[in-house]
Amino acid sequence: MLVSHETRANKKEIININTQTPIIEIAKKANLASQNVSKLSSKTKNYLLQTLCEQIDKNRSEVILSNKLDLDNLASSTKESFRDRLLLDNTRIDNMISSVQDIINLPDPIGQMLDIGVRPNGLEIKKVRSPIGVVGIIYESRPNVTTDASALCIKSGNSVILRGGSEAINTNLLLSKLIQKSLIANSVNPHSVQIISDTSRDLVTELVSTDKYIDLIIPRGSKELLKFLKAHSKIPMIKHLDGNCHVFIDDFADLVKALKISINSKTNRFGVCNAAETLIVSKGIASEFVPKVVNELSKKNVTVRGCDQTKKIVSNIETASEADWYEEYLGPILAIKIVSGINEAIDHINHYGSHHTDAIVSESKKNQNIFTQAVDSSSVIINASTRFADGFEYGLGAEIGISTDKIHARGPVGLEGLTSLRWVVSGDGHIK
């Protein structure tokens, strides 16, 4: 529930009431609850999630008020992209509800059987999808993660421990209250979804050390958060690293498509992980294409930084430094690099990129194939915006993150990414 507030220095701030349950107790309760939620029928899970949709809709004014408290508490120097990720209005609440409804409509992955076969000796071998168990989600800023992660974990038969950032604490506590109401209304163990209300970093260290009761950690946040967790976690992680995404305009690109894709990839929304941060242009079409794209970007107030060759074509832009090629701006800045061709573009992406999402614009099937085989990213896109790298667009419903790992789950992580496969072997008195 929401804690009381007071006004201090013209800001509404949370009074720190030390009523936090110890992490070990939260983890134990989550572990016990996972045994309950793993056995829920698809019907019960869907009823529960529908109740959550109704709770969010009925209490949207409270959600917006709680969110306003969080927004008011942000420092005046906070980046607009960060503020945008925190903001909830009626449209975004509609999207939250729609996200949960999409999860309701997805097939329940638990119990799905794969690779069914019969061995020569008559043994029937199959793989069955099963819940992972207890999932810990550590995230910053985005309050929609609270409902998306809860819904995905419930539908995939897992219990979840949520630890959001201090900047969204009021919003997250209100949303967790609505989730708790939905669990109780459907006679589901309320410890299936728990939120840690104390946002101190010490508790994060404790959380990621509780490997006896927690099976998986999924972090979503800054490079600093990921670096900290990699150093301290004793629990396996599915990591959502930064999104240094690229669009490569090949010599064989349709330049009308290329212009639309480049602008959309950068400007559709700045503060998201699948926005383009570097535009790579092949030198054969650079003199024709670069002035057009820079002109369109300037209309949208995007600052352009370019390599030496780019500046020879368009002089009124900033000079890109070595650091720019590594940067995830999450704002209205784009770096442009001119390359000799597709091989140099691939080398640049694999060296500087974050292995998140990278696109090629080309009408050459040969170059499309070279790019998709050689670029080592979780999503590789042909002739479309990087903004399509998203669980909704891939038909997964909501996503719990976009994994840049190579093991277990890669790319948008939906319901199936929150399951594991186990073997079921059926015999008829077989002995070896």
Please give the pLDDT value at position 424.
Answer: 94
Do the domain assignments include residue 9? yes
* 223 and 273 assigned to the same domain: no
pLDDT tier, 13 (very low <50, low <70, confident <90, very high otherwise): very low
- Residues 250 and 235: their CA atoms lie apart, in Å, by 42
Name the amino acid, one letter, at 158.
Answer: N
Q: How far is CA 430 from CA 117, 121, 127, 397, 425, in A?
A: 16, 8, 19, 43, 11
Split at pLDDT 50, 70, 90, the class of 396 is: confident
How many domains does the chain divide into? 2
When the pLDDT of each residue in the chain is averaged and rounded to a whole number, the result is: 91
Does the pLDDT at position 89 exceed 80?
yes
Q: Is 70 exceeded by the pLDDT of residue 9?
A: no
Within-domain flag for 219: yes
Residue 204 has pLDDT above 50, yes or no: yes
Same domain, 233 and 279: no
Residue predicted with more confidence, 271 or 160: 160
Co-location of 9 and 69 in the same domain? yes
Mean pLDDT for 366-395 is 94
Residue 418 pLDDT: 95
Q: Is residue 230 part of a domain?
A: yes
The number of beta carbons lying within 10 Å of the beta carbon of residue 88 is 23
Task: Give the pLDDT confidence score for residue 17 in this predicted structure.
Answer: 31
Tell me how far CA of residue 113 lies from CA of 38, 154, 157, 416, in angstroms. Answer: 16, 20, 16, 13
Q: Judge whether 430 lies within some domain.
A: no
243 has a pLDDT exceeding 60: yes
- Are 388 and 421 in a shared domain? no
DSSP state of 323: G
- Expressed as residue numbers, the domain containing 33 is 5-238+413-425
Q: Are residues 129 and 268 in the same domain?
A: no
Supply the pLDDT for residue 222.
74
- Are residues 194 and 305 located together in one domain of the fold? no
Rounded average pLDDT over 219-231: 83
Are 266 and 205 in the same domain? Answer: no
Query: Which residue type does 206 have?
Result: E
Q: What pLDDT is recorded for position 307?
A: 97
Q: Output the domain CATH number for residue 325.
A: 3.40.309.10
Residues 218 and 253 in one domain: no
Q: Is residue 432 in some structural domain?
A: no
The average pLDDT across 4-29 equals: 57
d(CA 59, CA 65) in angstroms, rounded, equals 10
**pLDDT attached to residue 202:** 85
Q: What is the pLDDT of residue 7?
A: 33
Q: What is the DSSP string of 78-140?
A: S-HHHHHHH---HHHHHHHHHHHHHHHHSPP-TT-EEEEEE-TTS-EEEEEEEE--EEEEEE-
Mean pLDDT of 398-403: 84
CATH number, domain at 147?
3.40.605.10
The predicted-structure confidence for 291-340, as pLDDT tens digits, reads as follows 999 999 999 999 999 999 999 999 999 999 999 999 999 899 999 999 99
pLDDT level of residue 239 (50, 70, 90 thresholds):
confident
Residues 377 and 255 in one domain: yes
Per-residue pLDDT, 224: 81
Q: What is the biggest distance separating any 2 CA atoms in the chain, rounded to whole angstroms?
A: 80
* Cα-based distances in Å from 399 to 117, 148, 202, 366: 32, 7, 28, 32
Residue 20 has pLDDT above 80, yes or no: no
Residue 372 lies in a domain: yes
* Residue 199 and residue 260 in one domain: no
What's the average model confidence in pLDDT over 404-408? 84
Task: Report residue 166 as tokens.
Answer: 């201090």
pLDDT band at 406; cut points 50, 70, 90: confident
Q: Which of the two residues, 393 and 306, has the higher pLDDT score? A: 306
Say yes or no: 190 and 266 in one domain. no
Domain presence at residue 13: yes
Assigned domain for 400 exists: no
> Do residues 175 and 256 both lie within one domain?
no
Tokens linked to 130: 């099963």
Tokens (6 digits) for 278: 């570097």
Q: Tokens 């780019």 map to which residue?
A: 310
